[in-house]
Amino acid sequence: MRALKYYVACTVDGFIAHADGSFDGFLPDGEHVADFVESYKSFDTVLMGRKTYDVGLREGKTNPYPMLKSYVFSRGMKASPDPNVTLISQNAVEVVRGLRSEAGKDIWLCGGADLAPRFARRA
């Protein structure tokens, strides 16, 4: 079974963004970036919540991780703006269980602070 890994940058007090959703407090350069890029090699799938996906979407990136199979979890989006990004609007835990049972590399939960607790307990 593939591992589901919650891999995010966070502050010492456990936040992954400011209250307004911005993340400008995180350093965009440094050794941590190289480590982060190296970690891609262990994943072939990325899961994002809507808030995480919106960060790239606001900058015109409809598929922020084109080297990975991408899934966005949202009850509000009606359609994916990119044919290579699969939109999941219901049964999130069951979808993740199915992905974990497939052959492949690990699965990266990128952001998704609202999703992480649900998946940790059930997926």
Chain centroid, CA 1 distance in Å: 19
CA count, 13 A, side-chain hemisphere, 16: 15
pTM score, two decimals? Answer: 0.84
Q: Where are the alpha helices (DSSP H) in 9-79?
A: 31-39, 50-57
pLDDT, one tens digit per residue, over 82-121 is: 999 999 999 999 999 999 999 999 999 987 778 888 888 7
Per-domain boundaries in the chain: 43-122
pLDDT at position 59, please?
Answer: 86
d(CA 15, CA 25): 11
Higher-confidence position of 34 and 44: 44
CATH superfamily, domain 43-122, is: Dihydrofolate Reductase, subunit A (3.40.430.10)
d(CA 81, CA 64): 12
Higher-confidence position of 120 and 19: 120
pLDDT more than 70, % of the chain: 83
